[in-house]
Amino acid sequence: MSVSWKKGSFAAVLAASTALTSATWAQDVKTITIATHYNEEQMAPLTECFRAYETGHPGIKIVFQQAAYGDFLQTILTSRVGGTSPDIYNIYSIWAPQLAAAGTLATPPAEIQDWIKGAYGAGTVGAATINGTLWGIPTELSVYDLIYNKKLLAAAGFNAPPKTWDELHDMAAKITKKNDQGVIETAGYVYGPTVSNAVHVFYSQMYAAGVSPYTEDGKGTNFTSPEAIKILERQAALFSDGITSNTNVVDDMAGGKAGMAIMANWNKSDFVSAFGDEFENTIGVAPVPNDGGAPGTMLYSFFWAVDSTSKAQAESWELLKWLDTPQDGKPLSCTGDMLNKLGALSGNISDLAAMDVKDSFTVPFVEAVQSGAAKSQPNTWQASENERTLRGYIEQVWAGTMSAPDAMAAADAEITAVLAEQP
């Protein structure tokens, strides 16, 4: 046997064995891709958990994909069309009806469903449920309450937040200050330019008035109810009485230029950055004002969902359960730890109990979740489109170009027609 033949044989055997090993490895290792709107820095605690999971499960490789919140739905669509869908998504609950109807989402196995129902609060499970079907594991909760600037209220002679909307109106009027050009420099109350700045506030006030924005079957609205009309007329009065304007927005709260606003708890980090050590002495939280009766407000949720075309569905659900269950005697689950570091709330009962939520800002939000006062944003058909439509009509009432009853009748007609499209 010549030397060159020997070398050739050795090379061939080496190449074949390498190829075989690679093929075997490729067969044994399953890659699970997780897409979220959180960036790498925010995801750091979870990424650490991914590596730990991979160590304990040698057959699993976890890849993280980030898509900006505004582009998240488009990213899902594009990846589906291109056949490169992630296995796991962290989705905003109102996107779920269309995604579920299109067969994009996989339903959790029965044992995972039982675990979710036991480990999560009823309100948050509702956020991941459409027409009685549970589609995923709730993650981040955002709850609305009245946020107020204690110092501005005190300077106007008030030492407690308003309990009713009439009180709010009077207090806001006293806080409002205009500059020499007649522009409101410090507003008593503020809204904002985004859809949620108007619509989520409106929904929160409807829940506080004891009325759900939508009918129970999700096919109609309660926008023409006397409560909804009254809420909108009172909002419009803030504009017509010069207490607020389009110039004055929710960002002014962190700038110390706004007295009150109905906002979500995730704004906490902005307030902490803006006010530093004075944060708790400056910012207060109270229930959404109503006309008496039980408190109420709105919450919305994100949830983990698994793609129906994923080749690793069982492994994905197993991974998600692991990520959402405390490991190695730690008080928080991996997801809970990440949310805690973000200053967000979790829908997981044990995570919520173990989270750092004892400060005066967070306690009212947690109470609203635990007491059941915070109701899930309804997962209605074409929710984003409907909310944009509703914002359009609410703005017309604020500007005085439409009366509240006319605007709500028009919104009801348009949105009911869209809701009727639901398969």
Partner 1 sequence: MSKRNRPRRASLIGWLGSKQVAPWIFLAPTLAFAVVFFLLPLVYAFYISFTKWDSLTPPKWVGLDNYKYILTVDPVFWKTFGNTLYFAFGSIALGVPLAVGLAYAFSKSRWQGLWRSIYWLPMITNVVAVAYIWYFVLDDRFGLMNRTLGLFGLGAPGWLTNPKIAMTSVILIFVWMQLGQNMLLFSAGLSDIDESYYEAARLDGASEGQVFFKITLPLLMPTTLFVLITNFIAGLSYFALMLALSDGTGGPMRSTTVTGLYMYQVAFSDLRIGRASAMAYVLAAVILVITLAQLRLFRRGGVEAY
Positions in the binding site for partner 1 (CB under 8 A): 70, 73-74, 77, 80-81, 98-99, 102-104, 179-185, 193-195, 245-247, 382, 384-385, 388, 392, 395-396, 399, 401, 410, 414
* Residue among 280, 284, 232, 231 at smallest CA distance from 261: 284
Nearer to partner 1, 23 or 399 (CB): 399
Nearer to partner 1, 27 or 179 (CB): 179
Nearer to partner 1, 127 or 411 (CB): 411
Smallest distance from the beta carbon of 183 to partner 1, in angstroms?
Answer: 5
Smallest distance from the beta carbon of 226 to partner 1, in angstroms?
Answer: 25
Smallest distance from the beta carbon of 398 to partner 1, in angstroms?
Answer: 9
Nearer to partner 1, 66 or 382 (CB): 382
Nearer to partner 1, 196 or 290 (CB): 196
Smallest distance from the beta carbon of 385 to partner 1, in angstroms?
Answer: 4
Smallest distance from the beta carbon of 419 to partner 1, in angstroms?
Answer: 13
**Cα(324)–Cα(53) distance, rounded to whole angstroms?**
12
Is the Cβ–Cβ distance between 365 and 266 less than 8 Å? no
Smallest distance from the beta carbon of 300 to partner 1, in angstroms?
Answer: 17
DSSP secondary-structure letter at 287?
A: P
DSSP secondary-structure letter at 260?
A: E
Sign of CA dihedral 262, 264, 268, 269: negative
* Residue among 229, 266, 223 at smallest CA distance from 389: 223
Is the Cβ–Cβ distance between 202 and 390 less than 8 Å? yes
Is the Cβ–Cβ distance between 295 and 373 less than 8 Å? yes
Smallest distance from the beta carbon of 320 to partner 1, in angstroms?
Answer: 22
Smallest distance from the beta carbon of 405 to partner 1, in angstroms?
Answer: 17
Nearer to partner 1, 360 or 384 (CB): 384
Nearer to partner 1, 34 or 250 (CB): 250
* Residue among 182, 179, 178, 174 at smallest CA distance from 155: 174
Backbone angles phi, psi at 324, to 5 degrees: -105, 15
**Cα(333)–Cα(49) distance, rounded to whole angstroms?**
10
Amino acid at 91: I
Nearer to partner 1, 54 or 414 (CB): 414
Beta bridge partners of 302: 92
Sign of CA dihedral 191, 194, 199, 201: negative
Burial label for 395, CB within 10 Å (0-12, 13-18, 19+), is middle
